[in-house]
Amino acid sequence: MSLQEQQTDLRGGFKQEMQTRHIVMLALGGVIGTGLFLTSGYTVNQAGPLGAVIAYIIGALMVYLVMMCLGELAVQMPETGSFSTYATRFLGPGTGYTVAWLYWLTWTVAIGSEFTAAGILMARWFPDTPVWIWSALFAMVVFLSNVVSVRLFAETEFWLSLVKVITVLVFLAVGGGAILGLLNIDQAHSIGLSNFTREGLFPTGFMPIAMTLLAVAFAFSGTELIGIAAGETRDPQRNVPRAIRTTVLRLAIFFVGTIFVLATLLPREQAGLVESPFVTVFTYIGIPYSADIMNFVIISALLSAANSGLYAASRMLWTLSDQGHLPKQFSALTRMGTPLNAIIVSMAGGAASLLSSVFAPDTIYLALVSISGLAVVVVWMSIAASQIAFRRHFVANGGDVRDLKFRVRGYPWVPLGRCCAAPWPVSASVSTPSSAWPCTSACPSSPGATWCITLPAVAASGACPWQPWLGPPMPCRVDGCARRPGCP
């Protein structure tokens, strides 16, 4: 089988219509959302100015580690199933099965709440229009974006993400000018770093920094969408590495820079969840219509999150069907190359999650949110572990590391470091009172429930590879490795 034939087989019949700009914006858009626009103020309030900056630097480092591991896997095996398929192939079918369902659940739990939140925000401008009408309209737009074609989805996500990126850039420029005293604000001189020293370097101690790491991890979740999109990207050996390097650098600048500006301009006690810290800063600087501008931006962020979330969730169902765990109808593609049945069921899952938040908020919905709360940590761990296993098998079966189109520098310390760092956010969150967590889709509502509900399910996946109904591990189909005996 030629390399071209192998790549076609790996992609499962999807159309390769995404370009570098699409997958860069897909990753940026998946990350820049309510976690940055709303809950960043919570991080500053809880950890203090310097503590918040440190927490986001740690988050950026974790993202760098996981993206390097994902890059090596995605370039060699550009599959729509991405980390679920890699986990199935190199860690065992039980692990891949669990990762796929956890990731699907993460996005379906979020989808319904994103539509509702967007509808509520529209009430600011149209108070007489029922929220459900706006929610239904947004749901239809996102559904059509995913169903019509991959190209339409990619273009829609590109422009929605561009709104958020421009907002962050303007915020950094305006905030930087205010810090340096270049703008006409209340102070006629440079603000400097007084907020960092006014209450001491760590006014709330060191523990709150660790406690906020789970919220920070949620704020950074979404970068792994590059791996899913690799299966529908033109020339992934060229475009995926460029997208990964560009995304990691921009995310570090955007997130750490934004938190630094917020921490510098906002006193810790004023940073919270009453309103977006962006609105507070823009109003403080004197930008007119700040609340309306950020209302539009946050609606764009919610729609972008729902758009990319539906895309990711549908691809996880397609993967489970492709592996034989769901009926083949879920892996059927339309003429335009979209998994219609998987998209419909994922939308229905989002609606069911939304209904549970109304009729059973303290039982079913709490369990769903708690399970999805740990999912991103599990996914990141599986990516690092899969990369270690892939490299070992690749070399053991005669592969030359120098032939890898994208390889992890510092192997095995980079993936090992990521595996060791993954449990930190969750373990630190256990000591956090439930009341200290913001009630948004950006982080779990009960860290204790996250442990009690999720860990048994995840731990059970360790035994799943031995269950006969999940089948044997998938064969490795990497060029230069697939034709060698003994390859898993």
Q: The dihedral of CA 11, 470, 482, 71: what is its sign? A: positive
Is the residue at 3 inside a domain? Answer: no
How many other C-beta atoms lie within 10 A of the C-beta of residue 252? 17
How much is the average pLDDT of 444-472? 51
Tell me the average pLDDT of the chain: 78
- Going by C-alpha positions, the residue among 303, 287, 480, 300 that lies closest to residue 397 is 480
Is the residue at 200 inside a domain? Answer: yes
Write the CB contacts of 271 (distance below 8 Å, at least 6 apart in sequence): 41, 42, 44, 45, 262, 263, 277, 280
Is the residue at 464 inside a domain? Answer: yes
Predicted structure pTM score? 0.84
Is the residue at 297 inside a domain? Answer: yes
Cα-based distances in Å from 415 to 341, 390, 420, 428: 35, 11, 9, 21
pLDDT surpasses 60 at 279: yes
Is the residue at 370 inside a domain? Answer: yes
Write the CB contacts of 326 (distance below 8 Å, at least 6 apart in sequence): 317, 320
How much is the average pLDDT of 482-486? 38
pLDDT for 4 equals 45
Q: How many domains does the chain have?
A: 1
Is the residue at 236 inside a domain? Answer: yes
How much is the average pLDDT of 333-362? 86
Q: The dihedral of CA 143, 144, 149, 152: what is its sign? A: negative
Cα-based distances in Å from 72 to 281, 342, 389, 444, 469: 40, 28, 12, 31, 30
pLDDT in tens, 297-310: 989 988 998 999 99
**Which domain does 156 fall in, by range?**
16-470
Nearest-angstrom CA–CA distance, 158 and 165: 10
Q: What is the CATH number of the domain that holds 51?
A: 1.20.1740.10
pLDDT surpasses 60 at 448: no
- Going by C-alpha positions, the residue among 364, 348, 360, 441 that lies closest to residue 118 is 441
Is the residue at 477 inside a domain? Answer: no
pLDDT in tens, 168-205: 999 899 888 888 877 765 554 456 677 777 777 777 77
How much is the average pLDDT of 282-294? 84
Grade residue 245 by pLDDT with cuts at 50, 70 and 90: confident
Nearest-angstrom CA–CA distance, 439 and 420: 28
Of 215-224, 281-290, 311-320, the range with the highest mean pLDDT is: 311-320
Is the residue at 427 inside a domain? Answer: yes
Lowest average pLDDT, out of 38-42, 89-93, 371-375, 446-450, goes to 446-450
207 exposed, middle or buried (CB, 10 Å; 0-12, 13-18, 19+)?
Answer: middle
